[in-house]
Structure formats: structure tokens, C-alpha cells
Amino acid sequence: MDFRSTELAKVSRLDTFPTLVDDELAVEEPLEIRILSPSGGEHAVAVALRTPGDDFDLAYGLLITESLIDNPNEIVYIAWGEPADFNIVKVGVDSELAFTRISKVSPRFINSACGLCSKTTIDEITKSVKPITSSIQLGRLVLTKLPELLSEHQSNFERTGGVHAAGLFYANGTSKVVREDIGRHNCVDKVIGNILRNDKDWIESLSQLVLVVSGRIGFEIVNKAAMVGIPIIVGVSAASSMAIALANSLNITLAGFTRPANSTIYSGFSRIV
């Protein structure tokens, strides 16, 4: 299905003289995620502002990284709203018990700048997430090439300059999945959700992949990676103090300011060879 991720708009461009021109914009629309019980009960858990496309991946990723669902195996089906409403995703769970647990959560509004909704402290996260013990190692030459490899998949950014990207890469630099979105955390949920949806052995798969993001690395990015056991995060820009503290506490390798010739390693240097 071809979703509209960009649109044209008339804008005034100031040069020597003002000129009315067409400009390509990144689309931002709400996506409502609803949970359905086996008996037909329904509960809206979140409304996320996102760029349309890969919305099933987004729903899977968000439900897991926000701890709304404990395991992707609880999801038995996923479908669009009706009739043909592509701004609603309905997620069926496998038991009334799971639905009852999830329905106790008040609906959340997740804007395109904020991706941390259910956890607020490092202590709270480390109580539920074990330190990561992945055996993956990442060569220095591959590390410094990863942002460039990510940019090869950023076609919407080239056209609009208004979207972020995230990708999961193998240690040899080969891409597994890359997604773009107006929200940096949505990109992360989309790539994580893609693995959760399509790989039965997702725990092992994610433990051998590198998450690459196109911007800064905030606490919410590290939190989402930690929830599914991703061992290495690489960013084009800086990492925040809380992101670094969380990465250190969970043995996550965190690299920022990554360029073709250098990178700043904030934590987990032992995985870089």
C-alpha cells in the first residue's frame, strides 16, 4: 500500500525578490492505536503523531518499547480501522487477561518530539531490564561508515529535509531495515517493530544488530533499545547525559558524533574493535 509520506505546498521563497514556489513537505498525521480483546472489547491506548507508512511496525514497536504489551506473541492480529481508516490501527491480543491489563492504561498522546511516555527514571527501567550481554563486536571502520550507510536510505529527507531516520544494521555494515519518520522515536519503533513482526527469534536477532539514528541520542532512544536488547547505538549527533547514564547501567555501547573519520564512544567501548 502506497502511503502519502510527503506533499507539495506553495511557499514564498525570499531571495533577491520573493518567489512563490512548490515545496515538498513531510506529512504529519495522527495514528490511533486500539487494543481489541478476544470477546470484542476495545480500548484506545495511544495517539501518535507520525509520518504515514509502516504503521503496523510502528504499533508493534511502540506497544513493546512502552511496556504496554509484554511480548509480541500476545498480538494475534493487526488491522486497519474501518471503513478504510488508515489513521487507526487495531491490535488484537490473545487473552482477556492481557486486554484487562492494557485497558487499565489511560490513552496517551505521543507527539513527534516526545517518545518517552511510561518510564521516567533510570532506576525504574533497570528494575525491569537486564544488562545486555550480547557478543556482538563492531569494527571501527564500519562504525564510522554507518551514518553514511543510513543516509543512502533517506530519500524522504533528501526531498523535504524534515524527517529523521533509524536503521538496524549487521556488524558488517549491511542494512537489515531502515525507516524514516517525522519523529525520531517513531523511526526507532518502526525498525524494532519490523523485527518483532517478522522474526520469531527476535530476541536473538536484535542482540546482534546495531541501531543507527540520524540525530541526537536522547534518553528515550536508549530506553527503547534497552527494552528489546539492542546492544549498540550509533548516532550522528550528541548523546544526552541521561542517555549515557542509562547506557552505562545496562552495558549498552553508545557512540555519538559519528563521522567518516571519527566517533565519540560514551559507553561500552569493549565492543568496538
List the catalytic residue out of 76, 114, 203, 273: 114
* Separation between Cα atoms, residue 91 and residue 99, nearest integer Å: 10
Amino acid at 139: G
- Burial zone of 200 (CB within 10 Å; 0-12 exposed, 13-18 middle, 19+ buried): exposed
Question: Quick one: which of 227, 265, 223 has its CA closest to 246?
Answer: 223
* Beta-bridge mates of residue 78: 91
- Burial zone of 213 (CB within 10 Å; 0-12 exposed, 13-18 middle, 19+ buried): buried
Spatial neighbors of 100 by CB under 8 A, at least 6 apart, are 37
> For this structure, is 114 an active site residue?
yes
**Catalytic positions, please?**
114
